[in-house]
Amino acid sequence: MCGILVVVNKTRAVDVKKIENAGKLMQHRGPDCFGLNIISNNVVMTHNRLAIIDLNNRSNQPFVKNDLCLVYNGEIYNYKELIKEHDLKTNTASDTEVLLLMYEKYKEACLDYLNGMFGFAVYDLKKKELFVARDRLGVKPLYFSKTRDGIVIASEIAPILELIDDKSVDDFGIRQYRKLRMTVKGDTVYKNIKFFPAGHYYSSGCFHKYWDIDFSPKEPPSDEQLKALIIDACRIRKRADVAVGSYLSGGLDSTILSYILKPEFTWTVGFEQLNEFMWASLANRQLNSKHIQIIVSEEEFISTAEKMIKKRKEPLCVPNEVLIYLMTRKVKTENTVVLSGEGADELFWGYDRIFKWAEKADQLQIEDFDKYYCYGSEADDEVIDYAISGLPGYNPLEKIAYFFQVHHLHGLLRRLDNSTMLCSVEARVPFTDYRLVEMMAGTSFLWKMNGTVKLPLKRVFEDLIPKSIIERNKVGFPVPLDSIFRNKYKKVKKPFDKWASFNIETLIKELT
């Protein structure tokens, strides 16, 4: 939806012009309006708006009401229900006002009522207090840096780098990226910049967890309950005053979402000699949307990846992030919102190889996690131990389930948000609806994977989508890294190692 920047100093006045310039580095996240509120010599909030719900200027931000100032990135999908259920008196048609009124009424307890994706900050003008929160699974990005003067919070890393003194790269974060293709536990590749933790809020200078996943054993839902909840998760994500489209790769997850949404436009992307166009076209025969296929060249891939790394000031998590970006540039010509299938594999254990191992394993061992999960080929037991230590659960299966739902998914959501918002398009992910996560957590291995990967999902939608899609084997999002880097990193054997080296070298060159 947007990009936010909040600067709170304790010991010296802020540099407003510098903050304004930093905030405008995120104009791609919100090209429709840039707002800035100088609350005091020590507090400034900026906002880049991508108008999606209530396109009227009355819903621009920073949004001030009743001595509260809000900047907000995301969507509260159940905002219409909240108005009725909590008797809210609104002057706009936006979820922004609803969010502020819910906070005013319930303070941090408002988070229990919100169904959405968000990173937001509220400053109390009377009490001079800052409250910040991020959604349960971290669908929307939020970063922070604690400085000697106070705290800087933003939707992206680039504006924070403009405002802090310590910009040093974290070697351990780089090692995490090389091994896991992401950083975990709030780390980034910078020593002094962290992820704001998902499912947490910040108040009175401290972080507090307000939500977590309970994997205690439970009975699975009925097919009717599961189907109804997935359909409802899509229903509330249709809410927009702009056109909503859908990615359609021809895989199970995107096909289900597209068939529920029935958008006018669907989109897919690939290379000329490596793509899923046949499957996407097959899925679309009954859907009959205006289906657009985007072909990417290897040369375009390299040049685009370089630009994205330089813009983000981070390495790209997954190679197909570049494809999503190039596809979404075309999406923007027709849609400002698009549905995507992230989260389904984490809910329904689509990564069958590692989940089948975890179900049989007695202990979660470093060497096994390296074999079944890790991407980089260079040994780094310290990174793996850091990633898997402290995972909740009584057995390896529960621990792996938690890792995928919390850490692995977070990396995929960063891929999606970064590549879509760079095009001023908002991606919505119905399979990350917290109600679905709570429904699925703790259901049995056999119910999810009794001889067939993602069996419940296939079963409940077998009457809706083509049989050939139901029976299709899961495939990844193909990128021919060996071919792309055939003239570079010739001594590096593993494709991901080439990709990681390319990202790190490009980033370090940009920073120096």
- DSSP string for 234-287: HHHTT--SS-EEEE--SSHHHHHHHHHH--SEEEEEEETTB--HHHHHHHHHHH
Amino acid code (one letter) for 474: K
Say what the pLDDT of residue 178 is.
98
If DSSP states are collapsed to H, E and C, what string results for 322-368? HHHHHHHHHHCCCCCEEECCCCHHHHHCCCHHHHHHHHHCCCCCHHH
Superfamily name and number for 2-209: Aminohydrolase, N-terminal nucleophile (Ntn) domain (3.60.20.10)
Say what the pLDDT of residue 413 is.
98
Handedness of CA 51, 56, 60, 63 (dihedral sign): negative
Amino acid code (one letter) for 175: R
Give CA–CA dist 258/465, Å, rounded: 10
The predicted model scores a pTM of 0.97
Q: Which of 339, 363, 148, 314 is nearest to 255 (CA)?
A: 339
- Would 2-209 and 223-350+405-480 be classified into the same CATH topology? no
Give CA–CA dist 117/318, Å, rounded: 22
- Domain layout of the chain by residue ranges: 2-209, 223-350+405-480
CA 160 and chain centroid, separation:
19
Buried b (16+ CB within 10 A) or exposed e, 208-236: eeebebebeeeebbeeeebbebbebbbeb
- For residue 468, give the H/E element and its range: helix 467-471
Which residues are within 8 A (CB) of 33 and not within 5 positions of it... i.e. 6 or more apart? 47, 48, 49, 51, 57, 60, 61
Burial category of 89 from C-beta neighbours within 10 Å (exposed 0-12, middle 13-18, buried 19 and up): exposed
List the structure tokens of 112: 């229990």
Q: Does domain 223-350+405-480 have CATH number 3.40.50.620?
A: yes
Say what the pLDDT of residue 337 is.
98
- For residue 181, give the H/E element and its range: none
**Looking up tokens 């010739």, which residue turns up?**
490
Q: What angle do CA 472, 478, 481 make, to 5 degrees?
A: 155
Give CA–CA dist 161/300, Å, rounded: 28
Say what the pLDDT of residue 34 is.
98
Say what the pLDDT of residue 476 is.
72
Query: Mean pLDDT by 10-residue block, N- to C-terminus, for the chain (512 residues)?
Result: 94 94 98 97 97 98 97 98 98 98 98 98 97 98 94 98 96 98 98 98 96 94 98 98 97 97 97 94 94 96 98 95 98 98 96 94 97 96 98 95 97 97 98 98 93 92 95 82 90 92 97 92
Are 30 and 74 contacting, i.e. CB atoms less than 8 angstroms apart?
no
Say what the pLDDT of residue 325 is.
98
CA 218 and chain centroid, separation:
27
Q: Are strands 290-296 and 265-271 parallel, antiparallel or unpaired?
A: parallel
